[in-house]
Amino acid sequence: MMGILVALILSLTIVVAPIDALAAVWCKFIPTGKIVPRAVCSPALDEIAAEPGEVASAGYPPSPPQYPPSPAIVYASLPVQTPVHLEAATVEKFVDWVVVMPSSQIPDVEAEIAKAASDAALVDAVASRLSFKLPAEYGRRLIYLSVLGQLKNPRAIPALDAYLNSPECPVFEEQRQQGAAAGSPAGEVRTSYFDACAGLKSAAVNMLAYLNTPAARELVLQAVQSHPSKAVRLSAMNSYLFNNHDSAEALAAVRQRTRKEEMKFVGLPRLAPQFSLKEFNARVAQFYNEYPEERQQPVPAKLPPKPGNAPVEGHAHDPSPPSAKAPNQ
């Protein structure tokens, strides 16, 4: 969808795992709290697409030569939209405008937010829309969070903190614990899973880091230390360092709160304007060389059955041949 991509992306994985060269393109925008349309990121994506050898140098194999080239994708410019004045009564219309405007209107969005920064009623109106009830509106909720952070109003801190630590939307780790308490195995997970709760909570901690007041910084460091989601903890590390210019003081503060087993993630490579793609990939490769256990492990095409035709964990396995099965079985 051509439109607006807001703080966080991804990523949970987007914020917390700049190890992936592609994801890191989005990562460089996330901690700022600014609304960034997809078109802004196209040049960086084109650079990655044009240099597959450099991406491979970061630990990712080049595309198999037998695959045909991907079809060319032509992006048409979005038409300029009439700006919407931002106030408590126009929050929804403002977000509708942000979704469809072209990247050339980012300054207009920033100007509207800046003009309304001291509007307490607006802060409350945006904060009241932070919810976990409609997963289909994930992208829209990221925009609410981004607007709330970019207002730079300390009045938003309690709402962001409550959202970050809300029990209403348990993150993946909490769901596993709840499953274990109910008698389900907690250690075996063999499915792909998008943790929307962790993604939204990662965006919330990014906005707290962008506010960057003493109270907000303490909440971010608390998330580094004790948030149940690993994705959120790593997001908190990255956004705290980014918004404090990766200073020695910021690094010391984060390391003091970081769990021992996650110390290696402090200061992960971040694709920033001052680094070329080649320099970034070199830093990524260095990280993988130092911590090879963090490389993505290849997935076997098929898990072999256990001896004696025992069921394979996580997969339904029927040892009988097809001819022996009943119809419609």
Higher pLDDT, 45 or 234: 234
Residue 56 has what pLDDT? Answer: 41
Q: In which residue are the tokens 């969005």 written?
A: 109
pTM assigned to the model: 0.69
Amino acid of residue 290: E
Higher pLDDT, 261 or 10: 261
Instruction: Please give the sequence-ordered ranges of beta strands (E in DSSP) within the chain, or none if there are none.
Output: 4-5, 36-37
Indicate the pLDDT class of residue 141, thresholds 50, 70 and 90: very high
Higher pLDDT, 307 or 18: 307
Residue 273 has what pLDDT? Answer: 85
- Report the mean per-residue pLDDT for the chain: 77
pLDDT digit string, tens, across residues 184-232 = 555 555 567 789 999 999 999 999 999 999 999 999 999 999 999 999 9
pLDDT digit string, tens, across residues 3-34 = 333 333 333 333 333 333 333 333 333 444 44
Distance CA 163, CA 129 (A): 11
The CB density around residue 132, as the number of other CB atoms within 10 Å, is 17
The separation between CA 162 and the C-alpha centre of its own chain, rounded to angstroms, equals: 19
Q: What is the DSSP code (8-state) at residue 15? A: H
pLDDT at residue 312 above 60? no
pLDDT at residue 66 above 60? yes
Cα Rg of the chain, angstroms: 22
Higher pLDDT, 144 or 315: 144
Identify the helix (H) or strand (E) that includes residue 5: strand 4-5
Locate 312 and state its tokens.
């394979």
With CA atoms as reference, report the closest residue to 132 among 210, 87, 199. Answer: 199
Amino acid of residue 155: R
Indicate the pLDDT class of residue 310, thresholds 50, 70 and 90: low
Residue 145's region, left for phi above 0, alpha for psi from -120 to 50, else beta, is alpha
Residue 326 has what pLDDT? Answer: 44
> Which residues face 5 on adjacent strands?
36
314-320 long-range CB contacts below 8 Å, 24 or more apart? 314/188, 314/190, 315/190
Locate 51 and state its tokens.
């240099």
